[in-house]
Every structure is written in C-alpha cells, then in structure tokens.
Amino acid sequence: EKIVYLTIQDFNEKWAERKLRGFAEAQEALQRMFEERYN
C-alpha cells in the first residue's frame, strides 16, 4: 500500500505543474469575465 501511495504522490506532483492544452486562453477569458468578482 505504501508503494502505491508514494507512486500516486509522485504522479500528482508531476501533473500538478502541467497545464491542459488551450487552458491558458480559457483562463484569460474567464479572468476578463469575472474581473470585478476576483479583484
């Protein structure tokens, strides 16, 4: 169980830094749409 847990933790760290393809454009659009709410 410990090996599985540590393997999953390793994958989570690697994938946390990645961005989905096309997400940067969507993120910018969402920031513009909700600018007054989050600033």
- The pTM of the full predicted model, rounded to 2 decimals, is 0.42
21 SS3 class: coil
Contact 38, 31 (CB under 8 A): yes
Place of tokens 């993120």: 27
**Could you say which residues of the chain have pLDDT below 70?**
38-39
What pLDDT does 5 receive?
93
Terminal C-alpha separation, the chain: 44
What pLDDT does 38 receive?
66
Residue-wise burial string across 1-39, b where 16 or more C-beta atoms lie within 10 A, e elsewhere: eeeeeeeeeeeeeeeeeeeeeeeeeeeeeeeeeeeeeee
